[in-house]
Structure 1
Amino acid sequence: MSDPNPDEFQDLRPLLFSIAYRILGSVSEAEDAVQETWLRYAASSTQPDSVKAFLSTTVTRIAIDVLRSARVRREEYAGPWFPEPLLADPYDDPARAAELADSVSMAALLLLERLSPLERAVFVLREVFGFGFPEVASTVGRSEAACRQLMVRARRHMDSGRPRYEADRAEREKLAARFLDAFRDGDVDGVRDLLSADVALIGDAGGKGPQWGDRFVGSENVAGVLAALMPLFDRIDAGVELREVNGQPGAIFHDRSGDILSVWSLDILDGQIQAIRTLNNPDKLGHLGPVADAWAALREAREPTE
């Protein structure tokens, strides 16, 4: 075959990463899957009729294999498991903007965790990226009829728990900014006013960072936890940066050196915060920049003041 075209591969890299990330929920594993796809493409002895089809098939099959082994580790994970946070999806398709945005949220990725690896791959390819069933069938190595059945089961699971979000992005960002300002200012009442009655605060530390409880539910309970955190963050001069996290409003908290302490993602609907997900596992934050020693920061925050 003629030598593989690196430029053609680079053009398709955003798509390949986005497919792999949605199947795996891991930035590092998705990047590894894309790299392995390039190696297989470069080593192929025949020129594919469609480079896009070849690469999409390859990265999907790699991701399915990785997910099958990862599921065992996730079942043994200490506490709640969240996907690695993604600040910006590299793939952009205006014709499928809504599907792409919805499918990358923390809530949607957690719903995808309920699916089998094949169901997840079929759903991602068909529902998110708009592949035709013949393409999906060829990619996952199943018949079209089998893929249609997989899609029916996947959609049933997803529809039963599909998250709803504030439609107006500007309104979501405005409310998130108010919430973070109130938290930073130690305004407990201001924070409580923005929480829905059944708000949930869920933390993923993986046993490797400070854990603020697996799950707190209800505005009073969540406000109480946040009120306890406010002075701790203040004592270590923690900075907060409003950022989009997996397509939803969120924040990155830094220590005084600028290293990352925690990443928060907010679900917002009807002018209130419905869920706060906090990521404190340093293994899941390294791709965003230098990670702080959160345990050391917590010890400093708890030192008695003179």
Structure 2
Amino acid sequence: MSTRSEEFEELRPLLFSIAYRILGSVSEAEDAVQETWLRFSVSPTRPTSVKAFLSAVVTRISINVLRSARVRREEYVGPWFPEPLLTDPYQDPARSAELADSVSMAALLLLERLSPLERAVFVLREVFGFDFPEVASAVGRSEAACRQLAVRARRHMATGRPRFEADRRERQRLAERFFDAFRDGDLDGLRELLAADVHLVADGGGKTPQWGTGIIGADNVTRLFAALVPPFARIGGVVEPHEVNGQPGAIFRDRDGKVVNTWALDILDGRVQTIRTVINPDKLGHMGPVADAWAVLREANEARRPTD
């Protein structure tokens, strides 16, 4: 018979993936998973279904954390984005499409509109395919109540459901061209890959350089690239293409390899529709040492002056 530790470790990827989708935070999801283990390790009885028990515990912990987190997010400075997720540890070939799209920045921002209970029910039922008795047990509500919560959640999500390029390989190819052009300083190449109404928006949390509510329009975004791309290259900045929240994206690093920010691209109809960049250092620490974005900007400005 497996030990409790072995059973828990086998389910850890699922537990983290549930918690992350409810919370939108890597660090808070990891804390929720750890708290779940602590409760499981001291439980006096062995549950009939370990998966159902642990999923219920991590869901209830996540709901409680989310309720307090929503107050903080209402006071957040500037646009709020989830903490970037580079790799979703839970894989299920039968639900790969639901899993990938549900972890995108666009989908997680839609989930922010739901109440904590609606969000938990939607994640368990629509993303992970739990049946309603399991969902009801996890959130501590009746099956009838959970069905109503699911209907409301689906309705809210459907009104703003993000649209992505259907062919994931096409998304990846376009992203590769985009970041190749960025590294090469090819502004014309970048411009032709942008949708006319492209939106670039940054989450700095009031702690880093940011652009208000964002920059809209291909010409305006291209002008920003013209100001940023050449000096970033001159100071030794590195663009590292990487999937971010299940979508094409990149990690930007300074010359020492420290993380400056991440970009996640929404791609549709052969064009980049949205660029979401996370610069808030509090949201980047799980990826390694974080750069001082203000220092990087000052150095980039110094590098730009000789060509002004």
Residue 202 of structure 1 corresponds to which residue in structure 2?
201
**Residue of structure 1 equivalent to 2:146:** 147
Segment of structure 1 superposing worse, 91-100 or 209-218: 209-218
Residue 33 (str. 1) matches residue 60 (str. 2)? no
Cross-structure match for 2:121:
122
Q: Is the contact made by 1:182 and 1:188 (CA closer than 8 Å) also made in structure 2?
A: yes
State the match for 2:287 in structure 1: 288
**Corresponding position: 1:184 with 2:183:** yes
Offset at residue 254 of structure 1 (A): 0.8
| Paired residues, number | 305
Which stretches in structure 1 are left out of the alignment for 5+ residues?
Answer: none
Q: Distance in 1 between matches of 2:300 and 2:215?
A: 22
The answer for the alignment partner of 2:64 in structure 1 is 65
Partner of 2:75: 76
The 5 Å alignment of 1:40-119 reads 40-119=39-118
C-alpha distance in 1 between matches for 2:211 and 2:237: 17
Tell me the distance in 2 between the aligned counterparts of 1:296 and 1:74.
27
When normalised by structure 1's length, the TM-score is 0.97
Cα distance in 1 for partners of 2:226, 2:178 equals 13
The CA distance in 2 between the partners of 1:227 and 1:268, in whole Å, is: 21
Alignment partners' CA distance in 1, 2:64 and 2:231 = 42
> Is 2:233 aligned against 1:268?
no
How big is the shift at 1:26?
0.3
What are the Cα deviations for residues 223-253 of structure 1, in whole angstroms up to 9, with x where unaligned?
2222221133123111101100011000011
CA shift for structure 1 position 218: 1.4
Q: Please, which moves more after superposition, 167-176 or 71-80?
A: 167-176
Contact 1:4 1:42 in 2 (8 A): no
Residue 244 of structure 1 aligns to a residue whose secondary structure is coil
Tell me what 1:227 maps to.
226
1:154-198 alpha-carbon deviations (Å, 9 max, x no partner)? 001101111111122221111111111212222222111101111
Inter-CA distance 103–95: structure 2 relative to 1 (3 Å threshold): same
Q: Is the 8 A contact 1:111 1:158 kept in 2?
A: yes
Distance 1:202 1:254 in 2: 19
- Cα distance in structure 2, aligned partners of 1:95 and 1:300: 48
Instruction: Report the identity percentage.
Output: 74
Name the CA distance, whole Å, in 2 between partners of 1:177 and 1:202: 20
For residues 72-129 of structure 1, the C-alpha deviation after alignment (integer angstroms, 9 at most, x for no partner) is 1111111000001111100011111111011000000000000000000000000000
Cα distance in 2, alignment partners of residues 187 and 94 from structure 1? 38
Structure 2: gaps of 5 or more residues: none
| Corresponding letter in the other structure for 1:129 | F
Alpha-carbon contact 1:253-1:262 (below 8 Å) kept: yes
Q: For residues 232 and 213 of structure 1, do their structure 2 counterparts lie closer, same or farther at Cα, with a shift above 3 Å needed?
A: farther
> 1:201–1:277: 8 Å Cα contact kept in structure 2?
yes
Equivalent residue for 2:18?
A: 19
Question: Aligned partners of 1:93, 1:177: CA distance in 2, in Å?
Answer: 26
Q: Which residue of 1 aligns with 2:137?
A: 138
> How many Å separate the matches in 1 of 2:48 and 2:183?
56
The 8 Å contact of residues 268 and 275 in structure 1, kept in 2 or not, is answered as yes
Coordinate RMSD, CA, aligned: 1.4
Work out the CA distance in 2 between the residues paired with 1:232 and 1:72. 39
* Alpha-carbon distance in 1 for matches of 2:209, 2:247: 24
Q: How far has the Cα of 1:203 moved from its partner?
A: 0.3
CA–CA distance in structure 2, aligned partners of residues 153 and 68 of structure 1 = 19
Give the C-alpha shift of residue 219 in structure 1: 1.2
